[in-house]
Structure formats: C-alpha cells, structure tokens
Amino acid sequence: MKFEEYPISDGIKKSISKQGFKKPTDIQYKAIPNILRGEDVLAIAQTGTGKTAAFVIPILHLLHIKKIIRKSAGIKCLVMAPTHELALQIHEVFLSLAKHTKVSSFCIHGGVDQDPQKERLSEGIDILIATPGRLFDLVSQGDVKLDGLEILVLDEADHMLDLGFIKDIQDLMRHIPAKRQTLFFSATITEKIKKLAYSLVTNPIRIQISPKDPVAKNIEHAVAFIEMEDKRFFLGNMMQEYPERKTLVFVRTKVRAERLLKALERQGLNAITIHGDKDQKEREKSMQAFRKGEQKTLIATDISARGIDVPNVDFVVNYDLPDSAEQYVHRVGRTGRGREKGQALSFCAAEELELLNEIDDNLGKPIARLDISKKDYQMTKSSVVENENEDWQGLLKQAEVEDKNWEAKKKKRRKNKK
C-alpha cells in the first residue's frame, strides 16, 4: 500500500512525498491504522526503520482534522524524548510533515534560556516536543498546561521509563488527563519496562517487528580484541586508511571522549566530540559539522546513542563496550538507517570480556568475531607509535628551539641593559 492510498489529509501526503517516502516502512504500515483509530500502542521496531514518521503522520492527521472543526487552544499532543538533539530532530520531522496543515508544534529542552520558550508557549501550540527535565520545570511553574492533552508519546520509551527519567515522568502523569491516547516507541524493551508501560495505559496494542534479532539487518557488526592502551592506534589507523568514512565513535565517559580526541590529535588526526559537559551551542555545532560531513569523525558518549538520525553514517565504533545489550543495539543503530547499509566494530579489551559475554547472551546470538593476526596487530601498533614518536620528537625539538631562542633573547636583553 502506498501513502497515497492512506485515509489521511492531502496536505500531509504532499509533504510525505516531498520527503521522498513512497511506501510506508513495516512499522509505519502496522502502527498508523491503530494510531488513527485512537488506540494505545507499544511499538517495538529496529533502529532506523522510520518509527518517528510512524507516530508523526497519524498524529498530524488527527489534530489537523480536529482543527478544521474547532480552533481549540492548548497543547493536544506531548512527545517526550531523552536528549536535546533527539527532541529537536523529532520536531524537524513534525515541521516538515505539517507544512500543509493547520497544526503547530514547538520544542523545549534544557541547556538554554527559559524565557523565549515561555513566550512562545504563551502564544499557544498544538504539539509540544520536550525533554523531561525542562518540561517538568515549566509545568511546575505553570507555563505548560497539559490538562487538555489528548495524545502522549514516549519515544525511546524503555529509556524514558528507566531509572534516570521515571520519577520526572511519574510526576508529570499527575498533570496529564488519565483519558488519553498513549504511544510508546523503541527498538528495545525489557519485560520489567513492558509491565511498567502497560500500567500507564488502558488497552495497549503491542506491535513488534523482528524481535529475534534486535540489531537492524542493514548493519554488519563485529567485535575485535584490542587492548585498552592500543585502542587509539587502531582507531587512528582506520581513520588514516579511510579518511572519507563518516564514523561515530562511542566512548564510556566524557573524560575519555576528550582524552581520545587529544590522542588522535597527537597522531595528526582530526575529530570532534559531543557529550553532556559541552554547552548547548557546542553540542549543536558538533552535530551540525558531523551531519554536513564537514567532520568525518565524531566522538560521543551515550547521549548520542538513542534515536539520532544522521544521514550516511558509514561506521560506528564502540571504542569502549557499552554496558548493556540494549545500549549496544542503539549505538550500532546509528548506522544502516532507512535503506542505507552500515558497519559497526567494537573494541574489546581483556577487562571488558565479561561485559562482552553478557551482551552476547542478551542479544540472543554472539557478535561476530573479527580476528586480527598477531602480525597485523603489531604492525598497526608500531606504525602509529612511530608517528606518535615523530610527533613527540617534533614537539620536543620545537620546544628546544623555543627554549634556545628564549635564552638567546634573555642574553641579548641582559647585554642591552648593561
């Protein structure tokens, strides 16, 4: 079935076609009719399969139709997402598909001034996309009123209902009408979280696509055994071998992101970082540069693992192993999106073996092993070590020259004084 044949407004169809979408993806095909009927949906489908449009299209239609009949003020739909970047990205999808409708949308997230957000909110909007922290603040202050809410969406639902966010979400529920349509979307879900999700809705329709292998089929992924102190050489080597390859590198912590950046710079390589210690402007700048392909290597923490849809990411590197199979699925899911193909490689050091076994078990099948021969391992290591030494020697020489110049200047000055 083509989008043209859907019982949705022509304006939305026009925008869908402008996006270049001809046929719905599996999850869109399955979820859109249920959402149009006003049902509660828990939808689990692999990364990059178009879950965003699966809720954006029917929501826009439902609200557009309502607006033709009645011009009611107040927020009708709330979409929650875990990070600033993802909230902004979802808002972009709403904007691009709502062009020929009467529906308005707005995005709020932390890290920026509240006042312009309050101002826009006071003008009235239909759809609000938000991260939980800022939303909670604005709701508590009375700037966001959710008493007329009809549709609630949790994107990356399992993450939104997990430890870091659940309290904010539960507090928010007190401000939201119990009679509403609730939609959950994610690529992963655990039994515990599923139960929690069900407790928040009346009669959920569960839609699950390819549950057996949670990793999207467009992604070829493997793990290589590389010691912690050698990882930077292997990454550097790959960056030199494939300078055009758009690569997203995941590390465990913000500090490790910055340290890796320095290590790559010592090898004469360029990269940028994105993590929670950077302010919003820097985060957006990094994301833009990577999106546009001006920067080929982005080093990120897990804040970029969920939902982010950057076109043409060729390669994901788990420089450090993630701490769960779910996180693994989301990280490698930044490549191979839509119809694209992607590759992912994880670096596993001896101290991470236990973690790898756990991820293997929870994925349902072990990640393919990429064997590096002793010879290749040594070669990779030594080739880059040399560069690094040269680099250091260069720096040392430069420092020596600077010292000498300085000494010479000092002598000269002393002489002049005399």
Chain residues binding ligand ADP by CB under 6 A are: 21, 24-25, 28, 47-53, 307, 309, 337-338
> Contact between 48 and Mg ion (CB under 5 A)?
no
> Contact between 331 and Mg ion (CB under 5 A)?
no
Q: How far is the CB of 18 from ligand ADP (least distance, A)?
A: 12
Give whichever of 26 and 358 is closer to ligand ADP, judged by the CB atom.
26
Q: How far is the CB of 333 from ligand ADP (least distance, A)?
A: 6
> Contact between 307 and Mg ion (CB under 5 A)?
yes
Q: Which two tokens mark 169?
A: 């979400």
Q: How far is the CB of 186 from Mg ion (least distance, A)?
A: 8
Q: Which two tokens mark 265?
A: 């710079």
Among 25, 43, 46, 51, binds Mg ion (CB under 5 A): 51
Q: Which residue's Cβ has the minimum distance to Mg ion?
A: 307
Q: Which two tokens mark 316?
A: 């994901």
Element (H, E) at 383: helix 374-417
> Positive or negative, the Cα torsion across 238, 239, 244, 249?
positive
In what order do the strands lie in the sheet containing 342-348? 272-274, 297-300, 247-250, 315-318, 342-348, 219-225, 368-369
Contacted entry of ligand ADP, Mg ion, none for residue 53, CB cut-off 5 to 8 Å set by kind: ligand ADP
> Contact between 236 and Mg ion (CB under 5 A)?
no
Restricted to residues 347-366, the positions that interact with Mg ion (CB under 5 A) are: none
> Contact between 306 and Mg ion (CB under 5 A)?
no
> Strands (DSSP E) along 309-354, which ranges?
315-318, 342-348
Q: Which residue's Cβ has the minimum distance to ligand ADP?
A: 50
Q: Which phi and psi angles does 25 have, rounded to 5°?
A: -75, 170
Q: Which phi and psi angles does 297 have, rounded to 5°?
A: -120, 120
- Dihedral of CA atoms 115, 116, 119, 120 in degrees, nearest 10, equals -140
Helices 115-122 and 132-140, packing angle to 10 deg:
70
Q: How far is the CB of 29 from ligand ADP (least distance, A)?
A: 9
**Whether 113 contacts 32, CB under 8 Å:** no
Q: How far is the CB of 47 from ligand ADP (least distance, A)?
A: 5
Contacted entry of ligand ADP, Mg ion, none for residue 83, CB cut-off 5 to 8 Å set by kind: none
Contacted entry of Mg ion, ligand ADP, none for residue 25, CB cut-off 5 to 8 Å set by kind: ligand ADP
Query: What residues line the site for Mg ion (CB under 5 A)?
Result: 51, 307
